[in-house]
């Protein structure tokens, strides 16, 4: 780099540039959090949805699955499992989820194993409500298809 | 023989040693998970995948933190030209952090996660069960306490000594690390908000303030091994980190494409994150330039190799592999596939694992009283470790990329009805996973060679 471009100038670009873009980032974050209620449908977060999220976290579901694409990549995406396995029907999905959770581990030799988390029927319904709410968020059309 | 400028620099030693022990654990759990990808029921009852994964990623984060802390304790006193404010505090924090880390890992291994959540009163302040932030709330509080003590100790050292650009940049990075970690305590019931601010920890760490830490460590090592004028190196450092933050802060937008967030993030995220490879490219030019313009022949060839290697691998892993899937129209199909895993592996290894091994390589011979460098034979072992681990990581990344491309092709691109299910797709990817596991075994061999280099001395070389 040329002699004319001094360390002081480089330092000023670093401090000025970082502060400037961080302020823009904060501004956009502020705007985004104002916009999100229209898209995340937080008005539909019931007590059961909240309990479902707690169960989701306390059983480390993210350790195998993805949820809106984030998590581990070992097991299926679950943000849209309500559509994939329940066809968008609440009773059908709850029935499916109870059957599925209680059948674990499937013990098929060589197949990836999902543990049994010993949840009560009510807890499985909480989880189902959480996943139903998640599937109804506006995620700009992600994922591309029902397979997640 | 005493080869340290300031005696308190020696507190870095336990940090480095413990970091490498955790690194071994990380790789072993990685191998278990890699096998579970193809032999699904391997150890399924004893170590379920989610536990192995949590240990693999948490050990990575914690060993890098130990590495960063060791680096800071080593280089800050020398840069400030004064002894560390309190070596005793540094040692006390070492034991607290090590004990908390070991207890947390044992908790993951020995009891079901929900039991651990229950024992640690997660219901009082739920922060657990989110990717990379799985630690019990009490452990997270412990991390904050350790970080505060650490920053206080370094801050007091710098205050009484010389304030070099390297020290200031390193401190900014470390303070940023501590500040952004505080978002780990914010876990709203609304998943969208939870995820949005979760990225304030995850993205603003690895694509933000950690780059300052990496840049500062690299600049320090380059000054030492090349003898190039500090003014030149520090100017480059500022340019690189300026680019890193200018692109990286708004680059966070590439995580906000599919998150109930406004569409403008697709533009902002794409444009700024497409520029994120630039600072890494500049880092490659700079590292090679400085080594070519060297004014002395430093006997520690291994440290030079690590310094060049970390620049190149960070550019490939973080820069090129990041760019591969960062544009919104591409990310729509690749988000959350094995392509993400490929990028994550090479980026973390290249940018962060390797920068820690760079300073360990430079500092350990001095801390151990060996001198400027290890004996030739030990350096040969170390360089074998470097090449085996690095080449293995290149192949791990290539195989995961292959798996990811095929996954996108089979599962993501086709329409409903034609797309293969997740599990059916995974079966088709088995060959890639087997090859990845084989590359993982080579990585372990490289790690063993690397660790062996610490035990090889002149005497055993003659024998």
Each residue of B375-419: pLDDT tens digit? 999 999 999 999 999 999 999 999 999 999 999 999 999 999 999
Residue B416, chain A, CB below 8 Å: the answer is: yes
What does the buried/exposed string (b/e) look like for A35-59 if buried means 16 or more CB atoms within 10 Å of the residue's CB?
Answer: ebeebbbbeebeebbbbbbbbbbbb
What percent of chain B is predicted at pLDDT more than 90? 97
Question: B53 is written with which tokens?
Answer: 């994964």
Q: Is the model's pLDDT at B274 over the cut of 60?
A: yes
Q: Residue A37: its chain B contacts at CB < 8 A?
A: none
| Residues A128-137: tens digit of each pLDDT | 999 999 999 9
B84 min Cα distance to partner chain A (Å): 26
A42 touches chain B (CB under 8 A): yes
Check whether B459 has a pLDDT greater than 70.
no
Q: A7-34, pLDDT tens digit by residue?
A: 999 999 999 999 999 999 999 999 999 9
A119 touches chain B (CB under 8 A): no
Q: Output DSSP code: residue A44.
A: G
Burial B13-47 (b: 16+ CB within 10 A, else e): bbbbebbbebbebbbebbbbbbbbbbbbbbbbeeb
pLDDT at A2: 62
| Residue showing tokens 């360990």 | B360
Write out pLDDT tens, residues B312-327. 999 999 999 999 999 9
CA atoms of A116 and A103, how far apart (whole Å) = 8
Are B129 and A11 within 8 A, CB to CB?
no
B75-100 confidence digits (pLDDT tens): 999 999 999 999 999 999 999 999 99
- Summarised one tens digit per residue, pLDDT across range B223-270 is 999 999 999 999 999 999 999 999 999 999 999 999 999 999 999 999
CB contact under 8 A, A45 and B420: no
pLDDT of residue B1: 60
- In the prediction, which pLDDT does B261 show? 97
Helices (H), B408-429: 422-428
How many angstroms away from the CA of A62 is the closest CA of chain B? 6
Which residue among A5, A69, A112 places its CB closest to the CB of B258? A69
Q: Which chain A residue's Cα is nearest to B198?
A: A70
- Whether pLDDT at B53 is above 80: yes
Structure-block tokens of residue B440? 């993982």
As a whole number of angstroms, the distance between CA B94 and CA B74 comes to: 14
pLDDT reported for residue B203 = 97
pLDDT in tens, A86-125: 999 999 999 999 999 999 999 999 999 999 999 999 999 9
Read off the pLDDT of each residue in B339-346 and give the average, rounded to a whole number: 98
Q: Which residues are CB-contacts of B436 (< 8 A; sequence separation ≥ 6)? A: B34, B37, B395, B396, B399, B400, B403
B342 Cα to chain A: minimum distance (Å) = 11
Q: What is the pLDDT of residue B44?
A: 80
Task: Check if B265 contacts A (Cβ < 8 Å).
Answer: yes
The answer for residues whose C-beta is within 8 angstroms of residue B87's C-beta and 6 or more apart is: B8, B10, B11
Res B462 pLDDT > 60: no
| Reported pTM | 0.97
Q: Return the pLDDT at B128.
A: 98
Q: pLDDT category, B189, cuts 50, 70, 90?
A: very high
Specify the pLDDT at position B277.
Answer: 97
Interface test with A, best of B116, B186, B192 (most A CBs within 10 A): B192
Tokens representing residue A58 in the block? 């306390």
Selected residues 84-103 of chain A with any CB under 8 Å from a CB in chain B: none
The band of B3, judged by pLDDT with boundaries at 50, 70 and 90, is confident
Residue B35 has pLDDT above 80, yes or no: yes
Average pLDDT, chain B: 96
Which residues of B are less than 8 Å from A7 in CB distance?
165, 231, 234-235, 238
**Average pLDDT for B187-195:** 97
**How many H-runs (helices) and E-runs (strands) does chain B carry?**
20, 0
CB A111 within 8 A of CB B427: no
- Minimal C-alpha gap between A86 and chain B (Å): 15
């Amino acid at each position: 780099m040329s002699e004319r471009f001094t360390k002081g100038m480089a330092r000023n670009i670093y401090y000025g540039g970082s502060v400037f873009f961080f302020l823009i980032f904060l501004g956009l974050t502020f705007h985004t959090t104002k916009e999100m209620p229209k898209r995340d449908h937080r008005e539909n977060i019931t007590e059961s949805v909240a309990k479902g999220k707690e169960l989701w976290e306390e059983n480390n579901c993210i350790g195998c699955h993805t949820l809106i694409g984030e998590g581990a990549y070992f097991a299926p995406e679950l943000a849209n499992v309500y559509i994939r396995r329940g066809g968008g029907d609440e009773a059908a999905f709850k029935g499916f989820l109870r059957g599925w959770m209680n059948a674990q581990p499937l013990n098929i030799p060589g197949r990836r194993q999902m543990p049994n988390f010993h949840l009560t029927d009510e807890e499985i319904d909480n989880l189902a409500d959480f996943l139903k709410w998640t599937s109804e968020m506006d995620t700009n059309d992600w994922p591309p298809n029902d397979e997640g | 023989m005493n080869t340290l400028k300031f005696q308190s620099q020696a507190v870095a030693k336990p940090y480095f040693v413990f970091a490498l022990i955790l690194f071994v654990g990380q790789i072993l759990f990685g191998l278990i998970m890699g096998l579970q990808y193809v032999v699904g029921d391997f150890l399924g009852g004893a170590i379920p995948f989610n536990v192995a994964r949590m240990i693999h990623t948490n050990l990575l984060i914690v060993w890098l933190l130990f590495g960063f802390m060791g680096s800071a304790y080593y280089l800050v006193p020398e840069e400030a030209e004064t002894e560390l404010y309190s070596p005793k505090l540094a040692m006390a924090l070492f034991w607290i952090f090590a004990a908390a880390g070991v207890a947390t890992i044992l908790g993951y291994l020995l009891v079901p996660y929900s039991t651990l959540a229950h024992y640690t009163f997660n219901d009082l302040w739920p922060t657990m069960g989110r990717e990379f932030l799985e630690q019990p709330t009490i452990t997270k509080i412990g991390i904050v306490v350790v970080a505060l003590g650490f920053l206080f100790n370094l801050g007091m050292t710098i205050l009484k000594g010389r304030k070099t650009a390297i020290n200031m940049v390193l401190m900014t990075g470390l303070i940023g690390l501590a500040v952004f970690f505080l978002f780990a305590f914010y876990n709203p019931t609304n998943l969208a908000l939870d995820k949005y601010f979760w990225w304030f920890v995850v993205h603003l760490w690895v694509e933000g303030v950690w780059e300052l830490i990496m840049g500062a460590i690299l600049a320090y090592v380059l000054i030492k091994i090349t003898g190039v004028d500090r003014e030149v190196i520090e100017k480059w450092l500022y340019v690189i980190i300026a680019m890193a933050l200018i692109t990286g802060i708004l680059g966070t937008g590439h995580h906000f494409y599919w998150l109930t967030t406004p569409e403008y993030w697709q533009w902002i995220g794409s444009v700024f994150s497409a520029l994120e490879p630039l600072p890494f490219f500049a880092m490659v030019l700079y590292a090679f330039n400085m080594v070519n313009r060297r004014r002395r022949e430093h006997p520690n060839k291994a440290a030079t190799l690590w310094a060049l290697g970390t620049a190149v691998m960070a550019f490939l892993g973080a820069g090129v592999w990041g760019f591969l899937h960062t544009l919104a129209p591409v990310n729509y199909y690749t988000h959350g596939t094995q392509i993400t895993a490929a990028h994550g592996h090479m980026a973390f290894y290249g940018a962060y694992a390797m920068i820690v091994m760079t300073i360990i390589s430079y500092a350990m011979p001095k801390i151990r009283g060996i001198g400027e460098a290890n004996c030739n034979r030990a350096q040969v072992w170390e360089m074998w470790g470097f090449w085996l681990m690095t080449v293995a990581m290149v192949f791990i990344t290539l195989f995961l990329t292959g798996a990811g491309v095929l996954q996108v092709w089979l599962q993501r691109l086709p329409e409903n009805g034609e797309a293969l299910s997740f599990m059916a797709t995974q079966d088709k990817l088995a060959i890639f996973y087997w090859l990845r596991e084989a590359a993982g075994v080579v990585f372990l061999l490289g790690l063993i060679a690397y660790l062996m280099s610490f035990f090889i001395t002149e005497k055993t070389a003659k024998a």
